[in-house]
Every structure is written in C-alpha cells, then in structure tokens.
Amino acid sequence: MLFKTVTKDNFQRLVEIILEANEVVGPKRVGVGKNGKPLHQYLPVQSFDELELDYDTTQYSAKTYFLPFRENLSTYRFDEADWVQEIRYRVQPRALIGLHACDIDALLKLDKVLARDGFPSPYYISRRKNTFIVGIDHMPCEDCFCQSLGSDTVSHGFDLFLTDLGDRYFVAIDSDFGFITLQRVPTADVTEQDRLEYRAVRKRIAGAFKTKVSADSLPNLLDIEFDSPVWKKWGDKCFSCGSCAMVCPTCYCYGVAERVSMDFKQGAKIRQLYSCNLSDFAMVAGGHNFRPTRHSRLKYRYYHQHRGFVETYDEPKCVGCNRCGRACLAGINPPEVIADLQQAEVSP
C-alpha cells in the first residue's frame, strides 16, 4: 500500500478531471429525515459541489451500481427457423466517490460470491472492473455496528481511500490505476506529522462507536438457539416486505423471469433481486413452501448473514451498516435481535 496526501482543493480538481470523461456517483443530499438530519443516496453527480463527502450513511447501498434491482440478462428474437440472442455487459467506466469502509467491505463479500465462486457473474464482474472506487473515512453513525464485525476499516477493494486531516486528505492507494489517476493533480509524500494526525483520526473514529454487537460466538449461538422463541417474537412483527434485503449491501438473492412478446417473436431474460423474507421465496413447484411462516423466513435471513456465510467464507455476510434496521417499518434490527438471542441464552 502506498500513501500520499492531497489538499482538498486538489482533490476537488481530481474529481472534476474524472467528471470530464466519466460518470461519477457519490453521496448526494436527497432530503431531510425524521430526526432532522440530511438524507443521502449514492447518485450520479454533474459537479463536485453536489457531493457531500461528510455524510452519515445512505438509505440504499452502492450495491445497485454492481447488482441492479432489475437487469436484462439477454434479449432474443426468433427469425424464421433461427433465433438471435443479444447479451450486453456494462463496460462504460464509472467512478464511485465517497464509499465508506463497510460498503467497500460489502463489495469484497459480493466479489466472493459473484466474481470468484463456481458461477461468476460476467454482468457483475464487468461493472466491478469498470468502476473506480474512492473510499472515505467517517465518524460512525449512531446505530451502525460495523466495528463489531470488523468492517469499520478496509485494506483493499478500492483504488483510493481518503482520511480527512482538515485541510488535506491522507490517501491510501490500492491500485495501479489509483496511483496513475492521483498523479493528475499535485500530491505530497506523507510526513511524520501526517502519520501522527492520521493515527489520531483513526483512534477518534474507533472510539466513537456507540452501537456494539457481540459477534464472536454468533454462529455457535445461532446453532444453539435455532428453536428459540425469540424468532417468533421478532418474526411476528415482520411484514414480509423485503425492504431489508433491498437496502442491504450484501444481499444478492435474485429470481430470473422470461418476458415473451404477445406474438412470441421476441423476449427477454430478466434478473430481479429478491428477498428471503418474501412469502414465496422458498416455494417450490407443486406449491410446497419450505418457509411458510414469517419467523422462519426472518430466521433464515439471520442465519445466512451470520451462520451460513461464515461456514463458507469464514466471515459474516453482514457488515453492520444497519440499513436494514433503519428501513424496517416493524422496527426489526440486528443489534436488538442478536441481543435478544444472547439474553435468551443466559436466562432460560
């Protein structure tokens, strides 16, 4: 890893240079929340001034720029006795500016499933390869628990990563392209003073987390508490709306549907994200539903996040952003559900 510093003015200039030839997406203010705080989403911007890099969080994650809610996998048309299929991958370059560490960590988890495992997705890979990622450190939000899951810092998965040192950014460079791109503006070598200030900022961030989840023995706890009444208690509140999976940066389950024209001459194969909390998620041919109850589906989502993914990849799927907790109209959120389970374990 290489490190440099860049003044904020020069970083702005860098973004303006990137904007000249690329789509730039970053945290943009979209309104004000119930608590009076600004709401942000990762959206395309036309100028640097539209970016608010000192944002708390976004309602939706950046997943949508790699795994859109709905996308055409292929279109096809029948031509006499033959047929023609067209498959398009997104190859236009895009820069994502201002991702937090947990959202970059979420991409690293998606990479494991969608870019490396037995069935890598060329749609995902083409987007990932053509996206320039600039991360940024931030003070933790009130209710995020990424530190408990080790996602409050990242050491790879980005091109550049910024830490705010007041009048300048401390920049970690993790790719050749990041290095070359940064050379478009003046930078400085890191001094002893920069290093000290960087470490002080990191220490301040690490000490500011308010929400903590005891996650060390979660897979084991989940095994033991498979039949806990805690699942019914929280599951009975669930509306099975699927919002939690839609906003989650690591939920990747999807369904594929065929849309055929009325004259049967053309059609499209469409992938659409799905949620394991939706009532028909585990329904199979013949109408049998393996998870017919709300609590069995809610439980399944927690088991995938904190048990099944750990078994496969040695790490939880959840990065602790708590977007699901904020989006849930029923007030279901991981810190409380997990605390409830832990409580059930100690007070039989």
Least distance to ligand SF4 from the beta carbon of 313, Å? 14
Is the CB of 128 or the CB of 323 nearer to ligand SF4?
A: 323
- On whether the CB atoms of residues 161 and 154 are closer than 8 A, the answer is yes
> Rounded distance, CA 337 to CA 305, Å?
13
Phi, psi at 197, each rounded to 5°: -65, -40
Residues at the interface with ligand SF4 (CB under 6 A) = 238-244, 247-250, 277, 298, 305, 318-324, 327-330, 332, 334
Is the CB of 182 or the CB of 248 nearer to ligand SF4?
A: 248
Phi, psi at 234, each rounded to 5°: -80, -35
Is the CB of 86 or the CB of 236 nearer to ligand SF4?
A: 236
Is the CB of 95 or the CB of 328 nearer to ligand SF4?
A: 328
C-alpha of 158 from chain center: 13
Least distance to ligand SF4 from the beta carbon of 147, Å? 12
- On whether the CB atoms of residues 5 and 186 are closer than 8 A, the answer is no
Helices marked H in 36-168 — which ranges?
101-111, 122-129
Least distance to ligand SF4 from the beta carbon of 216, Å? 16
* Tokens 């200030």 found at: 197
Amino acid at 167: D
Least distance to ligand SF4 from the beta carbon of 329, Å? 6
Least distance to ligand SF4 from the beta carbon of 197, Å? 30
Radius of gyration (Cα) for the chain, nearest Å? Answer: 22
- On whether the CB atoms of residues 140 and 95 are closer than 8 A, the answer is no
Is the CB of 168 or the CB of 323 nearer to ligand SF4?
A: 323
